A and B are shown apart, each in its own frame.
Chain A
Amino acid sequence: MPATDADSVRVEGLTVRYGNLVAVDDVSFSAAAGEVTAVLGPNGAGKTSAIEVCEGYRPAAAGHVSVLGMDPARQQAELSARMGVMLQEGGVSPSARVSDVARQYCDLYGKGVAPAELLETVGLAARARSAYRRLSGGEKQRLSLALALAARPDVAFLDEPTSGVDVTGRQLIRAIVRRLASDGCAVVLATHELDEAEKVADHVVIFDKGRVVADGTLDELRRGHDEIRFRSSPMLDLDALGVALGLEVRRVGDDEYVVDSDASRVAALTGWLAAHDEPVNDIRAGRQRLEDVFLRLTGNGSGASS
């Protein structure tokens, strides 16, 4: 997606090196205000390195990065007042009390956010007096998100915000992320949980081997990649079915199959299954899931974290 003047984050031709290793290779992408941009990629794809340049943590070897019109490397002090950051893990001393940390960050940002209100927002009011080490993994993530919110940010970089969070916590975090975006914040979300990205993102950037291999809205990435997904007998004769449909039929689970086709082949498929006394337990025709898009683009089935 080409950068526009409305973009809060603009990355153009970014390269990051660690010694001789090129972690990010001539990468460009953007994130707009009022949108959630999910950055996905397999392990070591370079997405965290790219985001750390945007946050001002890391220098760029080449290229240009602009966040809220500022150069993060040179104007981090000014930028940090308007930027919310959630690290992938840590960031708080284990012995620190939740209420103290909330107060510390509210005071550091000085945006008039009340610590109690902040903890209420992320559902941690009842844990205000607890030490950080006593929190569950999900509660730690929510506190980390709260610290990012203390900035009342215009841009937020959230690294794996739902990692280790239970279902209720995930819903709460999703709602907070969507609210941030609807308030005009540009939210950049790095996640390996593709279904989370699918649920919350307006715009997806997929990294692989240090490069951006896809960039667009969910609809754009899925366009032209319709599929029919169905469940049937585990012993299905895929070759015979493929010949009948004139298309390859792939097994994606013990009893789950995928045909790369639009809905026009559903009748032929169900007809063949009925003629061969094969059950149809579940059938769905439509755009590919983000997970399938991701696997198609990266050829990687090992998840998307880096």
Chain B
Amino acid sequence: MNPLRAQLRHEVSTTLRNSEQLLLTLIIPVMLLVFFSLVDVLPTETKDPVDFLAPGILGLAVMSAAMVSLGIGTGFERTYKVLKRLGATPLGRGRLIAAKIGSVIAVEVVQFAVLVPVAYALGWRPSAPNWLGALAAVIIGTIAFAGIGLSLAGRLRGEINLAAQNGLYLVLLLLGGMVIPFAKLPGPVSAIAKALPSGALADVLRETLAHGGVRPGTSWAILLGWAVVAPAVATRLFRWD
């Protein structure tokens, strides 16, 4: 078995067996989708709350896997010198990063395989969805969020990184246009929210899946900007030990 496959298998099995990661990447998104679709308390301004929520929750799932799960796991691996030890194997840093990206993609496949049918079961009927466009948004969003997660993981100590990733997750969830529309946020907060990667990803997913984006062109540009800047920052900040 070549080193990349060996590490990819280890990463995927470790992630999928980790109950905390499972809670974060799958159970919380499913619960939010189900609860707020059935209990109409969010000011979604769509006929059915699930029409607004489903693309946003898919964006949340991407953020959970690519930023929080990857960032927390990698941060602790750095603290426990796992990355340092792996650096002295034939794996090398390039293949280690490739294995981690592969692991995030595997988690996202599982997330979408669960979330999309759940959304359909809740009555989501996207009109003429552009799945290819949505896939592009997910890939660009994954790169952007992975860059943010690794920027924190590469610098902060394990426990501080854990707190920072969870705190950022909560902020981006609430302010990122994923479950609360931009229009319902106070003016200055709304402006900031639109510049966040979470808001941009949710907006382009709404546009590609249901033509419901608020300003898709700008959101694509913002998302691409984060996908360029965040990995560059991670590359500069990251410490392997």
Instruction: Pick from A95, A108, A147: contact of B90, CB below 8 A.
Output: A108
Q: Is the CB of B85 within 8 A of A147?
A: yes
Instruction: Pick from B1, B3, B84, B91: contact of A91, CB below 8 A.
Output: B84
Q: Is the CB of B7 within 8 A of A108?
A: yes
B window 1-40: CB within 8 A of A: 1-3, 5-7, 9-10, 13-14, 18
Q: Is the CB of B89 within 8 A of A80?
A: yes
Q: Is the CB of B3 within 8 A of A108?
A: yes
When distances are taken between beta carbons in the complex, the residues of chain B under 8 Å from A237 are: none
Which stretch in A99-107, A178-186, A264-272 binds the other chain? A99-107
Is B48 an interface residue, CB under 8 A from the partner? no
Q: Is the CB of B85 within 8 A of A92?
A: yes
A window 91-134: CB within 8 A of B: 91-96, 100, 104-105, 107-110
When distances are taken between beta carbons in the complex, the residues of chain A under 8 Å from B124 are: none
The winner among B5, B85, B241 for most chain A CB atoms within 10 A is: B85
Number of A-B contacts (CB under 8 A): 74
Q: Is the CB of B80 within 8 A of A92?
A: yes
- Closest Cβ of chain A to B69, distance in Å, is 14
Instruction: Pick from A80, A89, A90, A100: contact of B88, CB below 8 A.
Output: A80
**Distance A55 CA – B1 CA, assembled complex (angstroms):** 24
- Closest Cβ of chain B to A95, distance in Å, is 7
**Distance A85 CA – B84 CA, assembled complex (angstroms):** 10
When distances are taken between beta carbons in the complex, the residues of chain A under 8 Å from B13 are: 100
Is B82 an interface residue, CB under 8 A from the partner? yes
Is B87 an interface residue, CB under 8 A from the partner? yes
Q: How many residues of B contact A (CB 8 A)?
A: 26
Q: Is the CB of B87 within 8 A of A57?
A: yes
Given the interface contacts A92-B80, A100-B13, does A108 sit within 8 Å of B91 by beta carbon? Answer: yes
Q: Is the CB of A90 within 8 A of B90?
A: no
**Distance A147 CA – B152 CA, assembled complex (angstroms):** 29
- Closest residue on chain A to residue B89 by CB atoms: A108
Given the interface contacts A108-B7, A108-B90, A110-B1, does A91 sit within 8 Å of B14 by beta carbon? Answer: no
Given the interface contacts A77-B92, A80-B88, A104-B7, does A110 sit within 8 Å of B2 by beta carbon? Answer: yes
Q: Is the CB of B81 within 8 A of A89?
A: yes
- Closest Cβ of chain B to A89, distance in Å, is 7
Q: Is the CB of B10 within 8 A of A100?
A: yes
When distances are taken between beta carbons in the complex, the residues of chain B under 8 Å from A95 are: 18
Instruction: Pick from A56, A77, A91, A107: contact of B85, CB below 8 A.
Output: A91
**Distance A94 CA – B79 CA, assembled complex (angstroms):** 11
When distances are taken between beta carbons in the complex, the residues of chain B under 8 Å from A55 are: 88
Q: Is the CB of B91 within 8 A of A87?
A: no
9 contacts between A and B (CB under 8 A): A55-B88, A87-B84, A90-B81, A90-B84, A91-B82, A92-B80, A104-B10, A107-B6, A110-B3
